[in-house]
Amino acid sequence: MKLKVKRVISSVTFLCILFCSVQRVSYVMKNKSSDTIYDTYLEICDDIDVEFLGASRVIWQIYPLNLWDDYGIASYNTAISGSRPQCWYWIMRETLKYHKPKLLVIDVSLLSRNEQGNNEAQVNQVFDAFPLDYTKIQGALDFNAENIADHIYNPENVIFNIRKYHNRWTDLNENDFKKIKNRMFNTVRPQDIGTMEFDFGMIDRNIVTDRYTISMYYLEECVKLAKGNNVELLLIQTPNPHLEESQKIYNWCYVIAEQYGIKYWNMSEDISYLNLKTDKSTNEYAGGPNEFSECGVNEAGIHLNVSGANKLTSRLAKYIIENYDIEDHRGDPRYDYWGEYLNEWNMVKFEELENQSVLDNYLMLLADNHYNIFVRVNTDIELTSLQKELLGDIGIVSERLAAGTVIFENSMGKEIEYYDVTKQKILSHGDLAYDNETEYIYYQDQAYKLGVREGQELLPDIEFFITHDEDKSLVNYSFFNM
């Protein structure tokens, strides 16, 4: 009898060790795209009040660390690029086990698209970061080859992802052996400017589709899941031009919002705060005659660039504050560590400016209400129409940029002064002063010589000296020749 018990104990111990070993090997071998999204979320989720869910337009256009910096809103993006409502539902099933935010915001912008848009990689992105349990098994089995884009799907590759990733030995690096830190809170910052023109013609919101698609079913399940967990839910549609048939599907969101007592905000109805000449990324596409959307046509679409995303994020923050009880946590000792994330976010922004060699993109990145801008114009420059628009976005009148002009500008044009350097020797504005005779800028007890790069004196057409309005740091000095 004792021998049998000993054998049972030994067998159970062996199986436990084997299971733990397989789990560890699976973690090392798996693709880390899911962990990149969720590891940081799981680490800080107890302090998150607002969670954003959806597809690429969330990742590209909603900046949680802007929300923290400007409004003290603690938020995170759990979106997956290109995902459909079925993915959103299972993301909610997983994340709600760990934390129930005060507000969940779902961008429904892909509700009208082809329902076979998910692929196996996206399903793995949903589940790989989470441990194997009944929810994960349920979710993996809920997807099947019929609703996967390429009709190739094996749930075992999600439940036991070692099957899928066992041959990644040659791709392993040091990052595969440690937790992933997503300092950007799952965001992308596009640094370019799109040129396509789009028609945002809207139909009456009372014109609603009579269809009920799989995507609509899963969005309704998302609503039920939020209600069942006492999580407030806001449905939004970030700005995008849609065909009439698609708009009928999105208008269904007004119906479901009324039915379940939640809010739906179609942000395409008012885009006056955006400048579509300067706020779009080149990640845009025109319509075409192929089966790309649920309506049987390829709809046009846009993603906003950094400038547009800054504006959209701010507009969304104001709506949330006006309609929901979301606290401003700035100054709360519990959230002191968020300052570290904000510092890293700012460093990313500063590096973007430092690395820009194209004036158009540089001007677009200056559309940030935390930048104070000094401009010196050395020659009579000829600006393109786009450059004039970009300057206007940051509050500078392009017609004032004549040779010998110096401009001091604060916070997107809230304060702006123009000077003719031929008439004044010393110019000052706030903490910054400029000596026209020596060509030195004085800031925070430091002197900076303009027109000098790597020890060489230059006379560029236009120069920019950028500081930060909160920590008073020097952000960037750049110059351009036209």
pLDDT in tens, 4-57: 555 555 554 544 444 444 444 444 444 567 888 999 999 999 999 999 999 999
pLDDT at site 285: 64
pLDDT recorded at residue 15: 46
Residue 422 pLDDT: 76
Count CB-CB contacts under 10 A for residue 34. Answer: 22
- Rounded CA-CA distance 313/316 in Å is 5
Q: What is the pLDDT of residue 283?
A: 79
φ and ψ at residue 283, rounded to 5 degrees: -80, 75
* C-alpha pair distances (Å), 409 with each of 74, 380, 389: 30, 20, 16
Query: Which amino acid is present at 304?
Result: L
Provide the terminal-to-terminal Cα distance of the chain, rounded to the nearest Å. Answer: 91
Q: Evaluate whether 394 touches 388 at the Cβ level (below 8 Å).
A: no
The pLDDT of residue 453 is 66
pLDDT at 23: 47
Domain positions in the chain: 1-30, 31-341, 357-480
Provide the b/e sequence for 428-450 (b: ≥16 CB within 10 Å). Answer: ebeebebebeebebbbeeeeeeb
Q: What is the pLDDT of residue 72?
A: 98
Superfamily of segment(s) 31-341: SGNH hydrolase (3.40.50.1110)
317 with 267: CB under 8 angstroms?
Answer: no
Q: What is the pLDDT of residue 193?
A: 94
Q: Is 266 left (phi over 0), alpha (psi -120 to 50) or beta?
A: beta
pLDDT at 195: 84
Residues of the chain short of pLDDT 70, as ranges, are: 1-32, 114-117, 145-152, 161-182, 284-300, 411-413, 453-457
